Amino acid sequence: MEQRENRQPAGMLDNDSHSSSRHLLDGTAQTLRELTGGAIAELRIERVVVGVFFTGVKLSNGCGGVAYTPPAQIKRAGVEILKGSSQVIKGMEVTRVLAGELVGPFAEIVRLSTINALSVPFFNSGRYAVDSGNDISGFDQLFSGRRVCVVGAIIPLLKRLRSLGTAETVIIDQKEDTTFEASLGRRVSLGQTAEALARCETAVFTGASIANGSLPRLLAMVPADAAIAVVGPTAGFIPDELFRRNVALVGTVIMHDSDRALDVLAEGGGAYQLFGTCMRKINIRNVKRIRELHLAGSNQTKRRNAS
């Protein structure tokens, strides 16, 4: 759940649109409509920032959400923005954003950020199994002694996985200039993505795969009996749709100072600058899936039961 959500394979795993993630997000939007009820009609977009690394939204109820801004989208925006008039997003009804009525080069990223902002109240409602303060490596049963494939070189996470003693850590990263210690794992090419995921016992995907539309295809490459984790601020929406796709663990964030977070993004900052100041880490467990995989006895669970 680091700023390096952007370490995501490109090429065959990148989309020219967000259509591959749209079913996932449409389902999430519908669940949020049902959970929020009539109150959603009163909500407006109070503020939006399209930053270099992340896009952020603050709603009229004070809740905020962020989502990774794909570089490919920024590149296309230079052309698309000249093709027609743009909408004013500030003050727009949230229901219209959810319905996909917002147009423009960053419309889908703003929609995703809005979905994340709408999700915030439900992480404190008891609806989900939420743990605060640690990253996903605290659930060691998902990693220790297992073949792990990490899609996106999240260096702090890789260092923690090394200490857990994985059987193998395979790393897939789109940027050839990304460097890391050989002891952190074995790097494979983008062309070996399907092969690497087919062999893994645990797969880790960054939230950037939601923003760039590649997550559904990546999930389809993972064995049916493998554990799946999705990490990053972009994955900050209610996890029902991810859980339906057999994701066992979501590591994400809750924003608690929306204005400060958007100020940081407006000045070119990223997630590293937001942790501990504007947002806190949470893990959301798919209890049913973890039990199906016989992975419920992690040290994280033991620590929780002992407290």
CATH of residue 151's domain is 3.40.50.11590
* Rounded Cα gap, residues 264 and 279, in angstroms: 12
Residue 106 sits in the same domain as residue 140: no
Residue 85 sits in the same domain as residue 140: no
Residue 177 sits in the same domain as residue 301: yes
- Tell me if 271 is assigned to some domain: no
Residue 138 sits in the same domain as residue 91: no
Residue 12: is its pLDDT beyond 60? no
Structural domain containing residue 60 = 3-124
Lowest mean pLDDT among 180-189, 251-260, 274-283: 180-189
Q: Identify how many contiguous H helices and E strands the chain contains and give both numbers.
A: 13, 11
* Rounded Cα gap, residues 206 and 132, in angstroms: 19
Q: How far is CA 209 from CA 20, 60, 152, 214, 256, in A?
A: 10, 28, 9, 5, 24
Residue 47 sits in the same domain as residue 118: yes
Average pLDDT, stretch 71-94? 82
Strand partners, 59: 45
Residue 91 sits in the same domain as residue 10: yes
For residue 17, the model assigns a pLDDT of 42
| Residue 173 token pair | 């990263």
The residue with greater pLDDT, 264 or 77, is 264
- The domain total for the chain is 2
Domain boundary among 97, 124, 151: 124
Residue 262: is its pLDDT beyond 50? yes
Query: 14-38 pLDDT, tens per residue?
Result: 544 444 788 999 999 999 999 999 9
Residue 145 sits in the same domain as residue 290: yes
For residue 133, the model assigns a pLDDT of 72
Proportion of the chain above pLDDT 70, given as a percent = 87
- Tell me if 266 is assigned to some domain: no
- Tell me if 265 is assigned to some domain: no
For residue 18, the model assigns a pLDDT of 44
Domain boundary among 124, 152, 170: 124
Query: 189-246 pLDDT, tens per residue?
Result: 889 999 999 999 999 999 989 998 999 999 999 999 999 999 999 999 999 999 999 9
Residue 95 sits in the same domain as residue 112: yes
Residue 40 sits in a domain of what CATH number? 3.30.390
- Tell me if 262 is assigned to some domain: no
**b/e per residue 12-36 (b: at least 16 CB within 10 A):** ebbbeebebbbebbeebbebbbebb
For residue 113, the model assigns a pLDDT of 98
Domain boundary among 124, 152, 167: 124
For residue 152, the model assigns a pLDDT of 84
pTM: 0.89
Residue 122: is its pLDDT beyond 70? yes
For residue 43, the model assigns a pLDDT of 98
Residue 151 sits in the same domain as residue 249: yes
Nearest to 215 by CA among 188, 250, 242, 236: 242
Residue 95 sits in the same domain as residue 164: no
Residue 155 sits in the same domain as residue 112: no
* Rounded Cα gap, residues 70 and 109, in angstroms: 9
- Tell me if 36 is assigned to some domain: yes
Residue 35 sits in the same domain as residue 114: yes
Average pLDDT, stretch 90-107? 94
pLDDT band at 156; cut points 50, 70, 90: confident
Query: 33-61 pLDDT, tens per residue?
Result: 999 999 999 999 999 999 999 999 999 99
